Every structure is written in structure tokens, then in C-alpha cells.
Chains A and B, each alone.
Chain A
Amino acid sequence: MSSRREKADALRRLMNSEGETVGRNTRNVNQLSDYAIQRFDDYDEARSAARGIKESAIENLPELIDRVDEAVEENGGQVHVAQTAADANRIVEGIMADRDAEKLVKSKSMTTEEIEVNDHLEEAGYEVFETDLGEFVVQIADEAPSHLIAPAIHKSPDEIAALFNHAFDLETDLSGDPNELTEFARERVGEHIREADVGMTGANFVVAESGTLMLVTNEGNARKTASTPDTHIAVAGVEKLVPSLADLQPFTELIGKTGTGQDITSYVSLMTPPVDTPIPDFEADEFRDAEEREFHLILLDNGRMGMREDDDLRETLYCIRCGACSNACSNFQSVGGHAFGGETYTGGIGTGWEAGVHGLDSASGMNDLCTGCSRCVPKCPVEIDIPWINTVVRDRLNRDAESDEFDFLVEGLAPDEEPGGLDLQKRLFGNVGTLAKVGSLTPGLANAVAGSRPGKWLLDQAFGVDPRRDLPEFADETLREWYGARGAQVSDPDRDVVLYPDVYTDYFDPERGKAAVRTLEALGVRVHIPAVPESGRAPLSQGMVETAREKAEAVHASLVTHIDDGRDVVVIEPSDLAMFRRDYEHLLPERSADRLAENSYEVLEYVYGLLDNGADADALSSPADGDGELAYHSHCQQRTMDLDEYTETVLSDLGYILRTSDVECCGMAGSFGYKREYYEVSVDVGEHLRDDLGDVSDRQLIASGTSCQDQLDALYEREVPHPIEVIAPR
């Protein structure tokens, strides 16, 4: 399919031109942010408080709009509610005309990017200049910002110098020295600020009861923009409203830490305009009275009130635009916001914004770059379930797709709940459980076909499965077949567990399942491996929400009887445990989801618990001479659930010497890495994992997740066992 090829080409071009700079910068900020969060004891409390404030503010939004209208008017300003971008631009233009203004300076604001006010004003004959240095760069380059808070994060100092040298008629060319570039940009921008008739800012927050704006910057550009010209226009989405000044406290503490990795940004301006700062007239060299100041607050709807009514998109409105989700995303680190972006918004939460304010089409190009790895979740200061939003949008895109003439053939055959127009590639990966079941009937044949050139050709042509990545091979005997023949071997157990037979363990890698059985039995646990359907992870990844829901219901029905019998559920594959603990809350009734979540454990978490309760560690394998050194790569969802520590502790306590990798997810190597259009992105993400792991020639490589194993297999061309296989009794 040519569109897959075109997409792959576009991604490759961006990885080549911007990838290196984006990667370096985003990873750097991400690490700074990790460090700032670690030092902040109240992180979780602040997040819960922030979340609560946003939930209630969005709930009471109409009331807050009325209240801020009164407050601003009482202060001597004016509030305008704009339904659309066009309305907002008309209002801005009207203010410019009323003030006989010619020139407007703008501080950084994504909301004004959303309405494209620069283009509108320039077409109407006004001059517009960006004052944020990153925005200034992007404006000169005539590009869109590539990140929510760092618009020029994709450009290196040398590239910026070349851009300035080309754009300005300079006596001496600028070098790539950041100090020199900053100095130059500051001078240019400073002149525009002093001459401007109107200053436009966004607002990070708007306090309804007082009409106070919170503006967060490091450069001081918002302060200069708002306080130098006599007219200040602030454009803010309606979702920026909070009831009172005190509500700003948790956000003040969170936004720097998650956004840039600072404890607090240089300036958090709490301005209640029109401010009583005298107006500097640089030309006349005199101050004018602050009474002459004028202030307009434009509150923008542009789809937001619709998002408020939408149970799945509503959470997007809680976003404080800190950009942490982009920095924490391995795919964003590789391709940047010009690939992982829509008309305006980029990165993790960008899909929700685009779907809400510009419509599904604008979200479609970027949506598949979210693999649902969930590394953005602990980074979000308002606890937004960003992967879920992206899944819902993916589902809507699937349903929006137009059916083609052959769909009726697939429609009847595919065992899913999805509409006819669904992309065949998505349908293939979404039904992997069924495929595995069919393939495992004749594993030799299935492996031969999947590994053959014609087989690969067919998979590529029909489904866009990239022939460069090897498909996993079916085992001769499934885990359940093995266990069925063998039976339970603990007669007087301390505990009873159900080992959840995930698709990969059951059909492709029963060895890790057998190791789990041996380990649990050695620790006095009786193991059951019943027939349980696929968790729904595969269809959920493809945005097939209804199919995933049906799987979830079936899994719950199978497992709940075991739980009723007092058995714990032990899960090997972390992404399946994440289904039970995180995703099922969206798919099942609350009580059912909670019950399963509370009784399910990751296998090493369970082993840790058994050992902690007195089980005999001597029953397990400890390092024999020479093979005790390990390089361990945990799994993204395992880390999001804070479970990686259990594996690390168990291994260390048994005497293994561990080196760990903490780069962001390599889940791109999973179903996404098999897709032709994303194969090269998955390789790029993997290279970073290799850099992080360093030289591993002297040690065994182990990983907890299927996609991680796939990625490491491909990178190192060696077997990468699960940690349970290391500690299982021989």
C-alpha cells in the first residue's frame, strides 16, 4: 500500500532531519524532570489536588465563565467568549482597529497557535512578532512549533544561526554560539516589544473570582508583553478557568517540575489586568498613567464545550500543557512533534486536543504513534490517562474509516466486534489471539509459511507486515498442553494460583510459563492453568475497543470463579497485567474490574511476596559461577505500575549482579514495529535502548515483556529470557 510507504518515508525524513536534536533535547528534559519529581515529596498529593481542582472546574465551567466575566469587568477589563477560531480572530482584529494599532507582540501561547491569529492579522495588514525566542525562531523559519512548550526543540544552534544569517542582513554572520544567538534574538525582539501597540499573551490559568491570569515563563517574555504596551489581550481556552487564587498552588509546584524539570520556573506571574504598572512610552521617554491601560480576555470554546460533554475526551481539558507526555514518549523522542502532531498540538495529549478542537482527521496522522506504553502516565501532573484517550480516538478513527468493497468478506469471518471499514493491518494484529490458536494447530506449517519469502510477501502486501522483522515462532507444544499432560504437583499447597496463560507464553514461548510453574511450585504454591481468552490487549492496541471489551468480559468470567475459590491470579506478561489493573476499569463494571485488579499479581511481584512471607529462597536458582551478571530491561507498563523493583530485589537478594536500563519504552517493537510504516521508528527507538544498556557481551540479557524481548532479540541476535527463567529451579 503506497500510503504506508509514504508514511514510512515521511517518518524517515523527519528522523534524519530533526530526530537527533529532538532526541537529545527531550531526553535531557525528561531526565531533569524525573530528578525534580524525585526530590518533591508531595508529588502524588499535588497531582491529586490538581486533578480534583480541574475536575470540579470543568464540571462548573459555565458558572466560572459568568464569574470571571463579572470580575474582569469590575477590574476595568472586558471578557469576550469566542465560539470558534474565526470569532476569536474577529474579536482581536476589532480591538486592533479600535486602538488604531499597527503592531502586536505575542508571548508564547498554544491557544493562539490554534486559532492561527498571526496569519489572520498579517492578512489584515498588521505586524505580528513572537517574543518567546523559540517561537521567534519558528516564526522566521515559517514552521509550526514542534513541542507544546519548546517550539524550536528540533533545531540545533548551528541551524538557528544559519536561519538568522539567511533571514537578516547582518554585517557579520552569527556563529552557533547559544549566547550570541540569544543576545541577537533578544535585541530584535526587545525592539518590537518597545514599539508594539498591543501585547498578546495566553494564560496558563485564569482565576474566575478575581480575573487573575497565571503566566508561566522562564524568559520573562510574557511579563514584558503584558506590561509594556498599553493594551493587553489574553487568549485562553475556557478550560483554563479555576475558581480561586488558592487553587493555583499545586499547579505552581507541578508545572516546572513536569514541564522543564525545574523546581519552579523563573517567573510565575499572577497578574490581574489591567495592571497598575505605568505605561512606558520609549519613544517620548515618558510614562503614561496606568489608567489608560486596556485589557481584553478572550475565552475560546472552539470545541471545548463539546469535549466537556464527551466522557472520554473530557480529561483532555484537565491538561495544563506542560509537554511532559511528549518528553516521556520514546516515539516522540525519535520523530518529534512534526511527525507526532496534528494541525497545532503535538505529542501524547496532542491527539486528544486535535480530536477535540480540529476533529478526528487532524488526529489521524499522529494517533498511531502512541503504542499505549503508558510511560507518560506517571509524568502527567493531572493524572490524565493519555493512552486511553488515544485508544478511544483510534477506535473512532477505525469506525470513521470508509468500507471498501471487499469488506463484507472479512466482516463475516473476523471474530471481532469491529465495523467493516477497519484497516486490515489493525484487524490482523487485533485478532492475534485467534490467529495463534489456528496457527498452533499445525505449528510447523505456520512457522514455515510465516518465515518463507512468499509468506512474508503476502503478509506485507495484504497487511503491511514488514518483512524485515521476524515473526515469533509457534512452539511445538503449548504451555497448556504441557501442563495438561503433567498436572499439578503440589498436593498440600500453602497457596493456590491461576497462572494466566497469555497468548505469547502459551503459544510461542511456553518456556517462560514452565519456569513460572516450577518456581511457584518450588515455593509451595499449587498452580492451575485453565483456558482463559486473550486479555484484550491486542485489539485494544489497535483501537478495537468493543472487541477488547468482549475479551475483558470473557476473561473476567473465567477468572472470577477461581478468585471466588480463593486463588490468586499470577500474570507473566506485564502488558496483560496492565490490562487487568489499569485498562479494565474502562471496559468492565467497576466492581468486576476492581476484583480482578486486586487479586492479580505480576509473577516476580508474587515471588517477592512469597519470599517475604517466609518461602524458602534456597529452592530457587542462584548464580552459579560466572553467570550471575545480568543486564535487565524492565517493561514500560511494569514500570508505570511500579513493579520493576520486585524483579530487581528478588534477583539481587538471590545474589545476582544487576545492571538495569531505564530508557523509555521499546514497545514500538511490538505490534507497531511489525507494521511497515513504523518499522524504522521501532529500530531507532531500539538503538537508544542499546546505547543505554551499553556493552553486554559479558553478561546475560533478560527482559520482562514480550515486545522488549522482541526488540532485544533483534538488536543482539541472542535469546533474551524472562527473569523467571533465571531463578526457576533447574
Chain B
Amino acid sequence: MSTDSLSTFETAVPGTVHRTAAADASEALAEAIEPPAIGTAIPHDGVSLPDSVETDLSPSDLESAATGVTPAALGIAEYGTVTIPSGAAGDELVSLYTPRHVAVVAASDVVPDMAAAYERLSEDFAAGADTQILSTGPSATADMGTLVQGVHGPSETHVVLLEDR
């Protein structure tokens, strides 16, 4: 992915971006996480979740965890959006219930714009990854008179960007 797109993405993400090499991902994650944390497996070689991240989940973990870590399938540079595919590991719930969501995305999965994103999404959906959330968090409402963040979803979002993946 071009450095242009990566810096556009970094600027557009509505939250903190942690750029890191895969080998140092644990450190970056530790920095992004506020314990207690829950998470689902990150499908990139050499990247594993810190031990402190609980992956064997129960519903009460969803309610008590401060951070949820999930992989993201795509980054969309123009909008600072990540897509969260839902899976049997409970990615959708992990990314939704905790006050802080940390998404892990590979630089090679950052596309420049929405048109490119939909090309990838169409391929993914045809291949079976047919539920994905385009997340440009945090969750927000203006229903009570002014903008308040953190409603049914997280109030804070972080993105860990794997520069060499």
C-alpha cells in the first residue's frame, strides 16, 4: 500500500493509530489496551495477542472488559474506516460491547477509497466473509442535545497498523 494512503488513513482514523512492525505488535497492543481486555485471534503471521488478553470469552467478560481487540479485514484510507468481519469467535460482540475497541489491520489491507473497499468487500462476501461492519467509531449520539460518545458501542477506538504485513 502506498505511503500516501497510509498517512491519509492515519490522519482520518477517529482515534489513536499505533504503527508497528508485526514483530513488535505485542508491545503496540499493550500500549493500546486498557485492562481487563478481551480479544479474538489475529490472523497475521508473527502477531499474537498479549497474554493478558482473554480469548476464552463469556458474556460477563463482554460486560466487564475495558478493551476488546479484533482483527480488521480492511482499512479505508479516505474515511479512516476499518471493517470488522464477524466470526464464530465473537468478533462482532468483542468490537461492540467494550468501551474501547482496538482493531488490528495490515498495511497491505489499507485501500485508498470506498470504491476499492467495495471491490474487496464483494470478493470477501463471495468467499463467505459475508458479515462485516464498516466501523468509523466511536459510537455516538446527538439525541440528548449535543454530541456524546460511547452509546451502545465503544467510546474510544484505536487502530494497530501492521506496517510490514
Query: B136 contacts which of A266, A270, A290 (Cβ < 8 Å)?
Result: A266
Does any Cβ of B come within 8 Å of A268's Cβ? yes
Query: B139 contacts which of A179, A218, A228, A248 (Cβ < 8 Å)?
Result: A218
Q: Which residue, of B119, B122, B139, B145, has the highest number of chain A Cβ atoms within 10 A?
A: B145
The segment out of B21-29, B30-38, B47-55, B127-135 that lies at the interface is B127-135
Q: In the complex, what residues of B have CB within 8 A of residue A272's CB?
A: 125, 130-131
CB atoms of B148 and A218 under 8 A apart: no
CB A284 to nearest CB in B, in angstroms, measures 8
The segment out of A131-139, A383-391, A539-547, A645-653 that lies at the interface is A131-139
Complex: chain B residue closest to A216, CB-CB: B134
CB B56 to nearest CB in A, in angstroms, measures 10
Q: In the complex, what residues of A have CB within 8 A of residue B87's CB?
A: 276-277
How many chain B residues have a CB neighbour from A under 8 Å? 46
CB atoms of B146 and A286 under 8 A apart: no
Complex: chain B residue closest to A155, CB-CB: B145
CB atoms of B131 and A271 under 8 A apart: yes
A220 and B134 alpha carbons, distance in the complex (Å): 11
CB atoms of A290 and B142 under 8 A apart: no
Complex: chain A residue closest to B119, CB-CB: A246
Q: In the complex, what residues of A have CB within 8 A of residue B143's CB?
A: 132-134, 137, 150-152, 182, 219
CB atoms of A248 and B118 under 8 A apart: yes
Query: B151 contacts which of A221, A252, A269 (Cβ < 8 Å)?
Result: A221
A287 and B93 alpha carbons, distance in the complex (Å): 11
Does any Cβ of A come within 8 Å of B71's Cβ? no
Complex: chain B residue closest to A225, CB-CB: B152
CB atoms of A157 and B141 under 8 A apart: no
Q: In the complex, what residues of A have CB within 8 A of residue B146's CB?
A: 157, 178
CB atoms of A264 and B81 under 8 A apart: yes
Query: A219 contacts which of B117, B121, B152 (Cβ < 8 Å)?
Result: B152
A253 and B62 alpha carbons, distance in the complex (Å): 31
A576 and B117 alpha carbons, distance in the complex (Å): 45
Does any Cβ of B come within 8 Å of A210's Cβ? yes
User: Which residues 212-265 in A have Cβ within 8 Å of B in the complex?
Assistant: 212, 218-221, 223-224, 227-228, 244-246, 248-249, 252-253, 260, 263-265
How many chain A residues have a CB neighbour from B under 8 Å? 62
CB atoms of A223 and B92 under 8 A apart: yes
CB atoms of A186 and B93 under 8 A apart: no
> Given A249-B118, A264-B79, A267-B153: A278 and B96 within 8 A (CB)?
no
| Chain A 174-190 interface 0/1 with B at a Cβ cutoff of 8 Å (1 = within) | 00101101100110011
Does any Cβ of B come within 8 Å of A592's Cβ? no
User: Which residues 270-295 in A have Cβ within 8 Å of B in the complex?
Assistant: 270-273, 275-278, 280-282, 285-287, 290
CB A228 to nearest CB in B, in angstroms, measures 8
Does any Cβ of B come within 8 Å of A156's Cβ? yes
CB A420 to nearest CB in B, in angstroms, measures 48
> Given A227-B93, A282-B63: A182 and B137 within 8 A (CB)?
no
A270 and B143 alpha carbons, distance in the complex (Å): 24
Query: A245 contacts which of B58, B91, B96, B125 (Cβ < 8 Å)?
Result: B125
User: Which residues 84-134 in B have Cβ within 8 Å of A in the complex?
Assistant: 86-88, 90-93, 96, 114-115, 117-119, 121-122, 125, 130-134
Q: In the complex, what residues of A have CB within 8 A of residue B41's CB?
A: none
CB atoms of B90 and A277 under 8 A apart: yes
Q: Which residue, of B115, B146, B151, has the highest number of chain A Cβ atoms within 10 A?
A: B151
State the A residues within 8 Å of B (CB). Answer: 25, 131-134, 137, 150-152, 156-157, 160, 176, 178-179, 181-182, 185-186, 189-190, 193, 210, 212, 218-221, 223-224, 227-228, 244-246, 248-249, 252-253, 260, 263-273, 275-278, 280-282, 285-287, 290
Q: 6 shortest A-B CB distances, which residue pairs?
A: A220-B153, A157-B145, A134-B143, A220-B152, A272-B130, A280-B59
